[in-house]
Amino acid sequence: MSLPEHWWSAHRSYVSEILSLLAAAPEREVFYWRDKAFSGGDLIRSVTESFLALRERGVGKGDVVAILVAPNSPETLTVRYATHLLGGAVCYVRTTNPGTRATVLPLDHQIQILRETEAVTVFADAESAERAAELAEGSGLPVTRVPGRADGADAPAVVAWEPDALAVISFTSGSTGRPKGIRLAGRAWDATLRAWVELGREYGCASLLVSTPLSHGVAPLADAVLASGAALHVHETFDVEKFVDAVAAEREVSWTFMATNHVFQLIDLLLERGIRDPDAVAAAGLSALKRIVYGGSPAAPARIAQGYQLFGPVLAQGYATTESGKVTTLTPAEHGDPELAVTVGRPFPKVEVVVCNSESGARLAVGEVGEVCVRSPQLMDGYNREPELTARALRDGWYFTGDIGFLDERGYLTLLGRVADVIKVGGVKVHPIVLEGEILSHPGVRHAAVYAVRDADGSDHIHAAIECDPAEKVDVEDIRARIAEALSPIHVPENIAVFDALPMNSNGKPDKALLRAQGV
């Protein structure tokens, strides 16, 4: 192909910034995946080939491209870059799970996404060719592959970046399992990326190891890493032993991003190996790891204390939603303060957080419990083809998250759970997260799930399930007594089931729906 040098420059966006930086040192290795190293020149070549193939397909301004490629492959990023250079937007159809790629969407859900986004083509790699053919047959859409027509002799029709134009439709499964589309404009994507760039510059990110899907929440962080001149090490899914081995072998991975439950797995593995303090962590070859950024669900204070004892000031919690982007952060130093460790930190730069009455929208005073509301440049435009849902969630520029919490006088946010998850017992509202945190403070308890079981009369009953360290002796009656003392007798679960391993859902969290269905 013979495209002009820096042919992407007219786009004037995060994409053109990244490509220009890669072009300045095209031989530098910047992306590691499946034991292969990809240089900046390799990524530029991938963007160019994808751009030409999509242009030949007729993709242009305002078109949506559905991406179906191998999990966390370089094309997960480069096809998005190419589509944005053409003025289009993307959606991903492999999975709607932000924590792991293990669960691939059923064919009918993928076809549903194609129809609801009005995608014009499915971009697929060779590994995904068979499923792409099924999607083409079921939806009537053409499949785009590379290489396209690779002559590239004519000047490429790069479309200038429009911040208010649709950039990504991100899908999440939600409680019903039905994919729910979230429309993000270019300005929202760019705002999240810039927030990560600022944090990376402040704390120094030399190289990032990612094991959650690049099609979801970690994607702007991955862009920020490339835009900062750092490198990406990418795993297809999280495997705790593989993670430890990779960090020890590379010796250059300074940051990682993982789900909260992955942090728990890492803590448990190191403790099983007799590693119990920062010196032992360093001796195990993990001294380069300066930031473990995690999110997806609040972490129990007892587990945070374990992590801080192991790593020192390395953990950084991020509370975020797909709809609003980054909301708050709890810094590494703050993890060492027991009073702050129960919170999810303070707002990200340029993010406003208030607590409101869910029905009236009235703001509540410091310390009062209500629904967490966010106003931010990272905010979504709305739910795809869901005007009523959008109107309920977005009110006067604020996003009502559905999360319950309160702010203290210093601006730290404490989450108590979801509006829909509150258990009402004898007129008292019991928040599962609070009760789970108390159970997890008991020595030997690794995982805990608290949930409501409703009887025939419609009354809620508190049940709990726990997973324990096999090396520890855990007394359930002792747990009950501690809950009664620390919280109240009404918080004590009617049943506490002990498992060798708690059943987990596709998000890697305890499967409360399954536990409830089994009558545990």
CATH code of the domain in which 151 resides: 3.40.50.12780
pLDDT of residue 301: 84
pLDDT at position 176: 42
Confidence of residue 178 (pLDDT cuts 50, 70, 90): low
In this prediction, residue 427 carries a pLDDT of 73
Q: Does 411 have pLDDT greater than 70?
A: yes
Boundary residue ending a domain (185, 202, 220) = 185
For residue 258, tell me if it sits in a domain: no
Mean pLDDT value of segment 200-228: 88
Sorting pLDDT into bands at 50, 70 and 90, what band is 98? low
User: pLDDT higher for 102 or 275?
Assistant: 275
Predicted pLDDT at 261: 85
In a domain, 13, yes or no: yes
What are the start-end ranges of the E strands in 315-380? Answer: 315-321, 325-330, 346-347, 352-356, 370-375
Whether residue 155 lies inside any domain: the answer is: yes
The pLDDT value given to residue 249: 86
85 pLDDT tier (thresholds 50, 70, 90): very high
Q: In total, how many domains does the chain have?
A: 2
Q: Report the CATH number at residue 459.
A: 3.30.300.30
| 3 state DSSP class of 5 | coil
Q: Residue 2's pLDDT is what?
A: 60
Give me the helices (H) in 427-487, please. 432-440, 476-486
Write out pLDDT tens, residues 313-363. Answer: 999 998 999 999 999 999 999 999 999 988 999 998 899 999 999 889 999
Residue-level pLDDT at 157: 76
Query: pLDDT of 490-520, one tens digit each?
Result: 899 999 999 988 988 766 678 888 888 887 7
Instruction: Using the predicted structure, report yes or no on whether residue 67 has a pLDDT greater than 70.
Output: yes
Per the domain annotation, does 89 fall within a domain? Answer: yes
The answer to the question of residue 477 being in a domain is: yes
Reported as a pLDDT band with limits 50, 70 and 90, residue 204 is low
Structure tokens at 308: 């801080």
Q: What is the pLDDT of residues 234-247, one digit of tens each?
A: 999 899 999 999 99
| The pLDDT value given to residue 203 | 67
Of 150, 185, 220, which one is at a domain's C-terminal end? 185
What is the pLDDT, as a whole number, of residue 175? 44
Residue 493 is which amino acid? P
**Do 514 and 451 meet the contact criterion of CB atoms below 8 Å apart?**
no
- What band does 407 get if pLDDT is binned at 50, 70 and 90? very high
Helix axes 107-117, 129-139, angle to 10 degrees: 60
Quote the percentage of the chain above a pLDDT of 70: 93
Question: Reduced to 3 states, what is the DSSP secondary structure of residue 68?
Answer: strand
Query: What does DSSP say about strands 382-383 and 413-418: parallel, antiparallel, or unpaired?
Result: unpaired
* Mean pLDDT of all residues in 381-404: 95
Q: What is the mean pLDDT of the chain?
A: 90
The pLDDT value recorded for residue 103 is 64
What residue numbers bound the domain in which 117 lies? Answer: 9-23+37-185
Q: Identify the band that residue 228 occupies on the pLDDT scale cut at 50, 70 and 90.
A: very high
Is residue 131 situated within a structural domain?
Answer: yes
Residue 319 lies in a domain: no
Cis preceding-peptide flag for 147 (omega within 30 of 0): yes
Residue 281 pLDDT: 93
Residue 298 pLDDT level (bands cut at 50, 70, 90): confident
pTM across the whole model: 0.87
Asked, for residue 282, whether it belongs to a domain, the answer is no
- DSSP per-residue string spanning 5-57: TTTTGGG-SHHHHHHHHHHHSTTSEEEEETTEEEEHHHHHHHHHHHHHHHHHH
CA distance 475 to 442: 10
Give the tens place of pLDDT for each residue, 422-442: 888 877 888 888 898 899 989
Q: What percent of the chain has pLDDT over 90?
A: 67
Last residue of a domain, one of 134, 161, 185: 185
- Measured N-to-C along each axis, helices 40-57 and 75-85 cross at an angle, to the nearest 10 degrees, of 50
Q: Using CA atoms, how far apart are residues 344 and 63, in angstroms rounded to an integer? A: 38
Q: Which residues does residue 374 pair with via DSSP β-bridges, in sequence order?
A: 353, 399
Average pLDDT over residues 261-279: 92
